[in-house]
Amino acid sequence: MLTLNGLVLRERSLKDNDKFLDILTDTHGLIEVCAKGVKKPGSKNASVSQAFCYAKYCLSDTGGRYYLNSAEPIRTFFELSGDMEKFALASYFSEVLLYIATQEKPNNEVLRLILNCLHFLCLGNRPILLLKSIFELRLMSETGYTPNLIGCCECYAYTSDDMQFDMKNGRMFCGHCIGPRDLADYYPLDVNLLHYLRYIALTDMERLFSIKVRKEYLGNLNEITERYCELRLEKQFNTLNFFKELINGK
Ligand SMILES: [Zn+2]
């Protein structure tokens, strides 16, 4: 018997009232759990077998496969399904995590990050695009892709009026060091944008969500964090396209 805390990132329907759950856990990384009979009306495990449920799961481990015995919900984020944009963003978070998380490699900071993002998404007191940027950049930092934002990667200048962020390689060049080059995957950073990126990538998790970003910067910040994530993971996400269609269709 195994007890762990985890967040259901995805549920997949099987025959005979069963489901497979992909759960991001505190001790076992991302695992697949077979939840038997949970689609049956009145099943005691019905609600804990849904996407965006965070619970203490009690599992049995039979021949390398996990089966759900019981669970106690800790925090459910089901209210997300009542808001298309929030749900689409949460689905994007899930798709990214399903792509990068691995079994037997727990990362508690990543679990904290997604739980906090979902919490503030539900609460609705942070701009939705800010939560997206925080998720994208901080996730990269917590999984070994912290960009070098200390200063220009050649002369170490801490600030510069014309700093350029190299989104492909996660480094910066000041105006003196950039030289002639193709700037397709570079992004100009003014002092505010640079401050935001440093804060999100490097500050303590306790203070991460206290960041205040001026409204006019949210679009730029999103372009940077989204592209950085995409270039680092070399992957495009369908759920992101859907989210962007919703946002842009407004
Ligand atoms: Zn320089």
What's the gap in Å between 148 CA and the centre of ligand 1? 13
Surrounding ion ligand 1 within 5 Å at CB are: 152, 154-155, 157, 174, 177
Reply yes or no on whether the pLDDT at 221 is more than 90.
Answer: yes
Encode pLDDT of 29-75 as tens digits: 999 999 999 999 899 999 999 999 999 999 999 888 999 999 999 99
Please tell me the distance between residue 192's alpha carbon and the centre of ligand 1 in angstroms: 18
pLDDT in tens, 122-170: 999 999 999 999 999 999 999 999 999 999 999 999 988 899 999 999 9
**How close is the Cα of 159 to the center of ligand 1, in Å?**
9
**pLDDT exceeds 90 at position 196:** yes
CA of 146 to the centre of ligand 1 (A): 19
Name the band, by pLDDT with cuts 50, 70 and 90, for residue 243. very high
Ligand 1 midpoint to CA 235 (Å): 30
pLDDT, residue 63, reads 82
Between the CA of 23 and the centroid of ligand 1 the distance, in Å, is 44
Q: What is the pLDDT of residues 10-19, one digit of tens each?
A: 999 998 899 9
Spacing, Cα 165 to ligand 1 middle (Å): 12
Ranges of each domain in the chain: 2-76, 81-147+185-248
Task: Answer yes or no: is pLDDT of 104 > 80.
Answer: no
CATH number of 81-147+185-248: 1.20.1440
pTM: 0.95
> If you classify domain 2-76 with CATH, what class do you get?
mainly beta
- Average pLDDT over every residue of 170-177: 96
Q: What is the radius of gyration, based on Cα positions, of the chain?
A: 20
3-state helix, strand, coil in the chain (%, to 5): 40, 25, 35
Q: Report CA(153)–ligand 1 centroid distance (Å).
A: 7
C-alpha–C-alpha distance, residues 82 and 98, integer Å: 23
At residue 2, does pLDDT exceed 80?
Answer: yes
**Ligand 1 centroid to residue 198 C-alpha, Å:** 17
CA of 160 to the centre of ligand 1 (A): 8
pLDDT for residue 103 is more than 80: no
